[in-house]
Structure 1
Amino acid sequence: QLCPGLWLVWQEVLDLAFSISYDVEEYSLNFIASSRTDFCLWTDGLNVLLGKEMSSESMRSELEILLSMEIKLRLLDLENVPIPDTAPPIPKAPSNFNFCYDFSQAEQ
């Protein structure tokens, strides 16, 4: 039986863990995020790539912030504060998009 302090640390690690399973010879990649925020970012991002809904508390919190901003902007419009019709300019693209890591080399 684990002591209460050790159980809390173990539970915290389990709450930050997730795995990516793929069909090739039943391999999986196991991860432990360094923080709850990182866990939410990773799992939300993976859910989006899989076509699923984001479900983390971070997403819900950020959605609330965006909705409250939209309400505030609409209220500004009612007070005759001019809101531009065009969006700000989009920044330049990065010089390269080589952001991936080749895991096939690590398996050997």
Structure 2
Amino acid sequence: MKEKGALKQNKEVLELAFSVLYESDEYLNFIAPDKHEYCVWTDGLNALLGKEMTSDYTKSDLDTLLSMEMKLRLLDLENIQIPEAPPPIPKEPSNYDFVYDCN
């Protein structure tokens, strides 16, 4: 039973490992602490090398950006004007009696 746990742990470590090869035979090995960090590092290195970023996180971010762009274009089709500058920041309230004291 213990061997199965060790095998699972080794598989998880292998999924978070990557190497950077430099010079002809020199390399650096890395193990990310979690899947998110692994994706950030490998996507960042791929971007620096001019390669495609392939992680699920990148795909999700790209989907979000495309969705936002589509919504903005649809607003433009309906002749809804989007201001160039952000709205002014309102003044602070004279009191904060509406805030609950959670203590």
TM-score by length of 1: 0.68
CA distance in 1, matches of 2:3, 2:50: 41
User: 1:80, CA displacement in angstroms?
Assistant: 3.2
Partner of 2:21: 21
Which consecutive segments of 4 or more residues in structure 1 shift more than 4 A?
A: none
Question: 1:44-103: per-residue Cα shift (whole Å, max 9, x none)?
Answer: 1111111111111111111111111111112222333212457xxxxxxxxxxxxxxxxx
Aligned residues: 85
Structure 2 residues not aligned, in runs of 5+: 86-103
Report the 3-state secondary structure (helix = DSSP H, G, I; strand = E; otherwise coil) of the residue aligned with 2:18. strand
Partner of 1:74: 73
Percent identity, please. Answer: 55
CA RMSD between the two structures? 2.1
Question: 1:17-48: per-residue Cα shift (whole Å, max 9, x none)?
Answer: 00001116x22111001111111111111111
Report the 3-state secondary structure (helix = DSSP H, G, I; strand = E; otherwise coil) of the residue aligned with 1:55. coil
Letter in 1 for 2:63: E
- 1:3-18 residue pairs with structure 2 within 5 A? 3-18=3-18
Partner of 1:59: 58
